[in-house]
Structure 1
Amino acid sequence: MAAMQEPDPIDPHLEARFLLRASRVASLATLAAGQPHVALVTPAVLPDLSVLLLLSTLSAHTRQLADDPLCALLVSGPATTANPQTAPRLSLTGRAARCTEPWAKPHFLAIHPYAALYADFGDFSIWRIALTGAHFVGGFARAARLDLARFIPDEPARLAVEQAAMGVIAHCNNDHAAAMDAIAVQQGQNGAGWKMVNIDVDGFDLAHKETVIRVPFAAPVAGVDELRGAIIRLARAASPLTDRG
């Protein structure tokens, strides 16, 4: 009798990508005259996986990035046992630069709405980290150097979803508000009035006041048709009574 074949493990590239998109806090490593420096930051991930940060020139790490754009980020998830080493974590290397694109601050504030209190202060600006490398540890003894070509989303799919994003978000919020609430409840949240504020090939973000949660798809979508199907499946799973139109 042939031995039963074990199922393939989760692709670490996708596992790492989903972890990054869900991360709301990170450690930022910078260089100061050749010496390392680490600071806590709040990332907002773009569809192409580059990372936005809202930084103040009053902070040492911001001045260090202005002198040397090379940096690293560390994000992590919850440990599965009492041993902290069972937590998944992702180390990223990249180059940081100020980002003055008009969409940058709104995107950041959609993920971190509380930051609106100080985002317009004169010393704050948006920085964007373009990734140059990634190393993922999925838990104890599960380490992998990631191939950026496999880690970063497929460009045609990403662009298709980006182009449709505003319309999809408006449709979900205006015509399927109950479904958004049901999905949030299934994710362990309470209350009504949840709004979709961001969407990409891997999932979307729902916000209620200053709380923002990540809702992942079962797998990345390859285009707009798959995007709609993924949202419908989540809505149906969250509530059998959800309007399926």
Structure 2
Amino acid sequence: MSSPPRPDPVQPADAEARALARKLLGEARFCALAVLEPGTGHPFVSRIALGCDAEGLPLSLVSGLSLHTRALRADPACCLLVGEPGPKGDPLTHPRLSLRARAMFVPQDGSEHATLRANWLTQNPKATVYADLPDFAFVRFHPVSAALNGGFARAFALTAADLAP
């Protein structure tokens, strides 16, 4: 005799889950970025600097020389992992957000580039050394959906609307 199917442990987002997801995104200064390697289709993960634009969308300044930038230009589908373990306890009990997104590059000659640059350099002053190099570009990550692990027995599925500020 087979046992009854287990209920899905992933819950729909509630107000607390949405707030935690936005907090994790808003506080992140870096993240793991997962892309598909052009040519092979194999997964590739890199660490990138992260911030948010004025609308609360995740944003990064990336080099065109990096594999992850070439991958995003070839296929904008990606995933960001934000949330770091605290100083104590099991790392798997700390909240983290896997954000499925589509990357969109901001044109360097566009009207918003100067504003993004100024805001980025305020938060990341060491980026002044490379921000104006010709291969660097801002990329904005538009959420598609997300998986939030808020700690033990606190898994949530979020939509793009759940992540909107």
CA-to-aligned-CA distance 1:35-66 (integer Å, 9 cap, x gap): 10000001111243321111111111111111
Q: Which amino acid aligns with 1:42?
A: A
Residue 107 of structure 1 deviates from its aligned partner by 2.2
1:112 counterpart = 2:124: yes
What is the TM-score normalised by the length of structure 2? 0.80
- The 5 Å alignment of 1:118-129 reads 118-129=130-141
Q: How many residues align?
A: 145
Instruction: Give the structure with the higher percent strand.
Output: 2
Q: Give the TM-score of the pair, scaled to structure 1.
A: 0.55
Q: Which amino acid aligns with 1:136?
A: L
* 8 Å CA contact 1:29, 1:71 repeated in 2: yes
Alignment of 1:40-59 (within 5 A): 40-59=47-66
Of structures 1 and 2, the one with the larger relative CO (CA 8 A, separation 6+) is 2
Give, in whole Å, the separation in 1 of the partners of 2:87 and 2:21. Answer: 16
Check the 8 A contact 2:99/2:145 in 1, yes or no: yes
**Aligned equivalent of 1:38, options 23, 42, 45:** 45
Q: Distance in 2 between matches of 1:106 and 1:40?
A: 22
CA contact (8 A) 1:44 1:107 kept: no
Equivalent residue, structure 1, for 2:9: none
Give the SS at the match of 1:105: helix
**Correspondence 1:119-158 to 2 at 5 A:** 119-153=131-165
Structure 1 vs Structure 2 CA RMSD: 1.8
Are 1:60 and 2:67 an aligned pair?
A: yes
**Structure 1 residue 112, shift from structure 2 partner:** 1.5
Residues 192-223 of structure 1: per-residue CA shift (max 9 Å, x gap): xxxxxxxxxxxxxxxxxxxxxxxxxxxxxxxx
- 1:37 counterpart letter in structure 2: F
Alpha-carbon deviations, 1:135-163, whole Å to 9, x = none?
1111122110113323212xxxxxxxxxx
Write the distance in 2 (CA, Å) between the matches of 1:91 and 1:106: 28
Q: 2:119 aligns to what SS in structure 1?
A: helix
The structure-2 alpha-carbon separation of the partners of 1:79 and 1:86, relative to structure 1 and needing over 3 Å to count, comes to farther
Please list every run of 5 or more consecutive structure 1 residues that lacks an aligned counterpart in the other structure. Answer: 1-8, 154-245
> Quick check: which has more Rg, 1 or 2?
1
Identity of aligned residues (%): 39
SS class of match (2:79): strand
What whole-Å deviation, never above 9, does each CA across 1:58-88 have from its counterpart, x for those lacking one?
A: 1111111111111110001333742111111
Q: Which has the higher helix share?
A: 1
